[in-house]
Structure 1
C-alpha cells in the first residue's frame, strides 16, 4: 500500500505518512488554499504544491517543511503542477506548472530555475476561453506529458480548450472540433499509446459530453457516457494494470459538486467498452459530500484512492468496494474554515 499522501483540501495541505501500522499527519500552508500537488516517485521527499493566491511551494523533507519558490514564475495563482521523469537533467525531475492567467512554466532541475513556454494565448481559440466564476480570465487546469513520448505535452484550459505540443512546449496546436472544452482532469497510460481519457465539466449542460476519450493522441474524440447519470465530472483515474478500467467522480452540477450542505457526489467505474456503474460500497454517503479527487499508485495495479472531505478511501478491487484509511480525519476536518472558502472540498492528491 502507498506509504505517503499529499492532499489539498479546503485551506490546507495535508501530508500523511505511514510508519509501521500508524499514520503521522502534518498540515501546512494554512489559509493559502493549496490547489494542486504532485510528489516525485523517484524521491518521495520531494513534492510541489501550487496555491490559489501565494505561488508555488516545495518540500524536500517529505512535507515537514515547505519553502516558497520566489523567482521564475510571474503569477501567484498556481492552478496545475505535474512532473515528467525524462526531461529533467542529471537525474532531476522536470516540473510543469500552469497558472491563472493562462501561462505554462517548465523546470528541468527540480524547480530551481524556470522557463516560460510561450504561445498558448496566441492560439486562435483564445478569445473564446473564459472561466465562469471570473469570466474576465482563464487558467491552465491540467498538464500531462505522454509516457511514450515526453516531447508531447497536453494541456487543458479552464474553460475553453484542450491543446497539445509535440516539441516540449516550444509550439502549440490549437483545439480541434469535438475535443473537450472543460477537462478538469485527463490521463494517459503507458500501455495504451495514443489513448487519452478526459473528465469534462460541461456534461451537466450538454448531456452525453461528460466523459471524453481519444485513441489517436487527440486527433478525434468519442464520448462513451452510457450509464453515467451525473455528468459534471471532476476526478479521473485509470488502473495502472489495465488501461481499459477507468474511474471518474461526478455530480449533477458544479454546485452539487463543491457547495457544502447541498453537495452530492458519486464515483463511477467503467470496464472496457461497457457502461458506467456507480461505486457505493464503503464510500461516504453521497449527500453532503464534496466531489472526490481520484488517483492511483503505479506500483499498485487494480488499486484506486479517493480523497473526500470525509477522509481518504482505498479500493483494492478496482473500485468495487472501498475502505477508509485510518487517518485522524476528524481532527483535520475541524480546522476547515467553517466549510467555506474558494476550495472547500478536495482539489489535489498525490500518492507515493
Structure 2
C-alpha cells in the first residue's frame, strides 16, 4: 500500500493507492465544495472528506518518515508547525512550548526551545533516525527535535555566516527563509570526513545561499563560490551519498563531492528557473526536474508556463511533452517526488496529482477531490510512503 501526502497552498490530502496505483481512498484537511473542472484534471472519486485544524491555513511543506507513517508534519506560513499522530486524519500545532524562546538565555549545554517564527517553510526527517526532525523558518532559522517533535532546539549560528548579510527574498527583500532541508545519505565504506548521514545536511536559504553542516547543525559551512544561490529543492540518493541535485532559480546544479564544488548540466534545458527535482528510487542516474522561464511563469496561474524534464546518466535533458502529464501554459510549477520503486514518480501541480510507472514516458492522473480554486494554487509539498 502506497500513501501519498500532498500539500497545496490551500489544502492537505492523504491518498492511499492500491497495488495498481489506483486511489483506494483519499482524505482531506480542507473541505472541498467543488472539484476543478479543467479537462486535464483527474475526475474526483468522491472520497471521504475530513475537516481538520489545517483548514484555511497557508501550507508550505510536508514530511513523513516511512518507519513512522502515522506521524505527519506540515509546516504553515502563518501558524507554525502542525503534526498528526494518526497518519494525517487529524492535526494539532506543535513547537509552541517546551522551554525558553529562541534568542533568550540558555543553560550550559543547550536547552529546549520553542519554534518561535510562525512561518515554517521547510521540514524534514532524518532517514536513519525517525525521531530526528528538522524545521526551517522565515526569518531563516533551523530547529531540531530528537524526540519526534515534542521538544525543539534551535541550531544557532546560521545567520552568523559571512554571506548572511546578502540573503534576501525578492518578494519580501527585508527577510529570507529556509526553503529546503535535505539530509545527506550515509556513506558506506571508503573515506569519510567523520560525519554520519544524520549529521550531514544541506540547508537552502531563499535567496542567497546553499549551506551545509557536517555535525548536525553545531557548526555551519558557508556557500561555496560556484554554488547555487536561489535553491528551491535538493534531492539525494542513498546509492550516491556525495551527489546532490539542486533545482534553483539560477539553474539546475549537481555536486559529486558533498557540496564542495558544483556543475550546471543544462544541455537540452530550455528553461532555467528550476523548482523541483527528484531522483529515481532505484536508479541515481535518472532525474526529473520542473522548470519555467521565470518566477512569474512558475507561480502565477494566469501567466504560468512550466514543463517537466528528464535526464538519464550524462545525457541531455528531455522535455516530457505529450506523455499525459499536464505541462505548458496555465500549469504552475509541479512538485515532483520519487515513488517507492524504480521508474515511479509523482507530480503535483494546479492540475492535480499524476503518476508515472515508467520513468516519465507516460502519466496517469490520480483521482483525488481537491478544494475549489486549485487551478489558482501552487503545490507546496509531496511525500510518497510505502506502508507495506
CA apart distance, 1:7: 1.2
CA contact (8 A) 1:264 1:288 kept: yes
CA RMSD of aligned residues (A): 1.5
- Relative to the length of structure 1, the TM-score reads 0.91
Map of 1:102 onto structure 2: 140
CA deviations over 1:45-77 (Å, ceiling 9, x no partner): 211000011100000111111000122101100
Alpha-carbon shift at residue 285 of structure 1 (Å): 4.4
**SS at structure 2 position matched to 1:350:** strand
Unpaired stretches in structure 2, ≥5 consecutive residues:
31-53, 98-113, 187-196
Q: CA deviation at 1:141?
A: 0.8
Residue in structure 2 matching 1:228, options 229, 252, 269:
269
1:296 lines up with 2:338 in the alignment: yes
Q: Secondary structure at the match of 1:125?
A: helix
Return the match for 1:346 from 364, 379, 388. 379
Q: 1:19, CA displacement in angstroms? A: 6.6
User: Is residue 121 from structure 1 mapped to residue 156 from structure 2 by the alignment?
Assistant: no
Q: Distance in 1 between matches of 2:121 and 2:281?
A: 25
SS at match of 2:165: helix
What's the secondary structure of 2:240's corresponding residue?
A: coil
1:1-352 paired onto structure 2 within 5 Å: 3-18=2-17, 22-28=24-30, 29-69=54-94, 70-71=96-97, 72-86=114-128, 88=129, 92-148=130-186, 149-202=197-250, 210-280=251-321, 281-297=323-339, 299-328=340-369, 332-334=370-372, 336=374, 339=376, 344-352=377-385
CA apart distance, 1:333: 3.7
Give CA-to-partner distance per residue, 1:122-174, whole Å, 9 cap, x none.
00000110000000001101111111122111101000001111111000011
Q: Determine if contact 2:248/2:273 at 8 Å carries over to the other structure.
A: yes
1:243-279 Cα distance to aligned partner (Å, 9 max, x none): 1111100111111111111211100000011100111
**2:303 aligned counterpart, secondary structure:** coil
Contact 1:23 1:326 in 2 (8 A): no
**Residues 249 and 292 of structure 1 are in contact (CA less than 8 Å); yes or no, is this contact kept in structure 2?**
yes
Q: Give the TM-score normalised by structure 2.
A: 0.82
Q: SS at 1:126's partner residue?
A: helix
C-alpha contact 1:309 1:333 (8 A) present in aligned 2: no
The CA distance in 1 between the partners of 2:26 and 2:260, in whole Å, is 45
Cα displacement string for residues 289-334 of structure 1 (whole angstroms, at most 9, x for unaligned residues): 111000013x311211101111111111111211111223xxx242
Q: Is the 8 A contact 2:307 2:327 kept in 1?
A: no
Q: Deviations over 1:177-199 (max 9, x none)?
A: 00010110011111012111101
Structure 1: runs of 5+ lacking an equivalent: 203-209
For the pair shown, which has the larger CA radius of gyration, 1 or 2? 2
* Structure 2 SS opposite 1:30: coil
CA contact (8 A) 2:276 2:336 kept: yes
Q: Shift of the alpha carbon at 1:10?
A: 2.4
SS of the residue corresponding to residue 79 of structure 1 reads: strand
- Match of 1:206? none
Moved runs in structure 1, 4+ residues, more than 6 A?
A: none
Shift of 1:6: 1.3
Give 1:335 deviation, angstroms.
5.1
C-alpha distance in structure 1 between counterparts of 2:184 and 2:2, whole Å: 26
Higher relative contact order (CA 8 A, sep 6+): 2
